[in-house]
A = this chain, B = another copy of it.
Amino acid sequence: MKTLDVVTFGETMVLFTSEAMTPLEYSSHFSKQIGGAESNVAIGLQRLGHSVGWFSKLGNDPFGRYIHKFVRGEGVDTSRCIYTDEAPTGIFFKEKRSPSNIKVYYYRRNSAASLLSPDDLDEEYIANAKFLHITGITPALSTSCRETVFKAIEIAKRHRVKIVFDPNIRLKLWTIEKARQVLMEIAAEADIILPGLDEGELLSGRNTPEDIARFFGEEKLVIIKLGERGAYYQFGSEEGYVKGFAVPQIVDPVGAGDGFAAGVISGLLQNVPISEAVRRGNAVGAIVVGTNGDVEGLPTREELDEFLQGAAYQRDVKR
Which residues from chain A sit less than 8 Å from chain B, CB to CB?
16, 19-32, 61-63, 65-66, 68-70, 72-75, 88, 91, 95, 97-102, 104-107, 109-110, 169-172, 198, 248-249, 251, 253-254, 290-293, 296-297, 313, 316-319
Q: Which residue, of A61, A97, A316, A319, has the highest number of chain B Cβ atoms within 10 A?
A: A319
| 7 nearest CB pairs, A to B | A73-B73, A69-B73, A24-B62, A25-B62, A107-B107, A30-B30, A97-B291
Contact B105 A22 (CB under 8 A): no
Does more than half of chain A's interface fall in helix, strand or loop, or is it mixed? loop
Least distance between A18 CB and chain B CB atoms (Å): 9
Contact A290 B97 (CB under 8 A): yes
Contact A32 B32 (CB under 8 A): no
Contact A170 B318 (CB under 8 A): yes
Known: A31-B29, A297-B97. A251 touches B21 (CB 8 A): yes
* Oligomer: number of copies: 6
Give chain B residues whose Cβ lies under 8 Å from the Cβ of A319. 104, 106, 170, 172
Give chain B residues whose Cβ lies under 8 Å from the Cβ of A88. 105-107
Contact A25 B101 (CB under 8 A): no
Give chain B residues whose Cβ lies under 8 Å from the Cβ of A24. 62-63, 66
Least distance between A201 CB and chain B CB atoms (Å): 12
**Nearest chain B residue, comparing its CB with the CB of A198:** B316
A171 and B153 CA atoms in complex are apart in Å by 42
Given A22-B293, A22-B296, A27-B32, 8 more pairs with CB closer than 8 A: A16-B30, A24-B63, A28-B28, A28-B29, A29-B30, A70-B73, A91-B107, A170-B319
A28 and B98 CA atoms in complex are apart in Å by 22
Contact B61 A251 (CB under 8 A): no
**Nearest chain B residue, comparing its CB with the CB of A70:** B73
